[in-house]
Structure 1
């Protein structure tokens, strides 16, 4: 039945009505269907009401008190089913929640890392890292200094060798000496590359980049240009919370009163 066929009252459901029951008493029917679960019954009830709602909620406005009464009853029955479904969901999920809570409680003293506290693994690692960080930074600085020194020595040797090569033109003995200087410079450059690698890898340190706020106004201009919708969403959420708490004047917002349909029949 559709809305165009009138606005009959919704049929009442008998307290003991079982929409999943199957009447079959013929011969050979030795395995009756399984008893429906509370979820099965509630699911069928909601699907029936949803099907009814599709007939009544067809986009046409309510044009009579009778129709308003029927749709109000339909709304309230759907709302009540929703509350029962939520209660059933919570009830069915509770054993799992209890198991998860038990597991979390069991492991939290060992590996927990939450606002409420940290486990022994986290605490011990933090303590070790607190001691290791300055030491590793010191070692890294020493290796960096050694690498810089080796690079400077290699560069100086390279320049000396090049000058000797230029000055040895036509002099075989000086050219031999210049070639030896060049070989020494090449060895120093290889050593400098090894020192640089040692100074930049295997240090037990990881590089992190941190943004340090220096100018709030400039930062907000950047954020507005980069994520305007997110900024406005945060502002809207805070304004809504303030209005729900009783505030009636919010800078930049117009606070208005609206009436929306609620569960329950109108007086």
Structure 2
């Protein structure tokens, strides 16, 4: 029974479905490394010969022999057949893709789990790896060239808008952004003053309400034991006054300090934010490190690992060693 499948490192492949280049590479590899697989070699060789003959026939049809000159003896004019339409040239991407696909087929034939045993094999693999590296460099250059018009257009659009809306942290903030910041600083000073005044009124109203409530409660206690109706009525009045003052204090606390707004515009208000800075006290950094080692140990470990990875690239620091870390030498191509 003839063999119908090629046993690759990734599983059985139907020989009849294999492209010519893939089949040729597989055949060469079997002949070189595993000549004992004679049945597969024979089947692959027949498949390669058949595909080669088909490609040769197609090439011959595409370029027929030129007919001899006729018509010189006065016979009828013979019209020459139309020349086949020329194929459009490959785009840079199409050429790069074809090159990649061919190289990857060859790489798949080598990178199948079988070790290199001879210098010739190592040289072949080395050349193949170099060709793939060159292909990657060429592809990256082509990618850069292909997207350059788009990058240039994006940069032009970005520059146009950045003139007005670039963030304030940029080296050149936008005109509108700077104006917003300046107006915000102007408003912040005024709104803070207004808010300070509101807080003072809130404190005064709360104090007055508390004092009135204390007086009203005292009068209420006195009214419980008095026989004077006027005293009772005075206690009720004081309680009502205290309730009114308390309501007024709550109203002051809810007052909004703002500017602008209306006609669909958002009102400008104060926004509370917080900044943190070193205290400057002796041992402050150690205190902070101990705090975060306790509360965020993963973040501290990641930071230390980043520092160690940076230091290990420095020959001097690597020679000194990095406390807490083991330095291993790793070889790679």
TM-score range, shorter chain: 0.7 to 0.9
1:252 Cα deviation from its structure 2 partner: 1.8
Partner of 2:156: 102
1:144 is aligned to 2:199: yes
Task: Give ranges in structure 1 of 5+ residues lacking alignment.
Answer: 9-22, 262-267
> Which residue of 1 is the match for residue 22 of structure 2?
none
Residue 228 of structure 1: aligned partner: 300
**Greater relative CO, 1 or 2 (CA 8 Å, sep 6+):** 1
| TM-score, normalised via structure 1 length | 0.76
Task: Identify the range of structure 1 (154-163 vs 52-61) with the bigger mean alpha-carbon deviation.
Answer: 52-61
Q: Is the 8 A contact 1:165 1:178 kept in 2?
A: yes
Change (3 A) 1:162 1:43: same
- The whole-number CA distance in structure 1 between the counterparts of 2:85 and 2:244 is 90
What's the C-alpha RMSD, in Å, of the aligned pairs? 3.3
**Aligned residue pairs, count:** 242
- Seen in structure 2, the aligned counterparts of structure 1 residues 136 and 241 have a Cα distance that, compared at 3 Å, is farther
Larger-gyration structure (1/2)? 2
- The yes-or-no answer on 1:135 pairing with 2:190 is yes
Instruction: Look up the match of 1:205.
Output: 270
| Matched residue, 2:247 | 190
TM-score (norm 2): 0.63
Match of 2:129 among 64, 70, 75: 75
Moved over 6 A (4+): 23-26, 30-34, 199-203, 253-257
Give the whole-Å Cα distance in 1 for the aligned partners of 2:85 and 2:207: 92
* Conserved? CA contact 1:140–1:203, under 8 Å: no
Q: Choose which of 65, 72, 76 in structure 1 pairs with 2:119.
A: 65
User: Structure 2: 5+ residue runs without aligned partners?
Assistant: 1-25, 35-57, 63-83, 259-266
Contact 1:249 1:255 in 2 (8 A): no
Report the CA distance shift for 1:200/1:124 in structure 2 as closer, same or farther (over 3 A): closer
Matched, 1:38 2:92: yes
CA deviation string 1:57-112 (max 9, x = no partner): 12333221122122112211111110111011101110011111111222222112
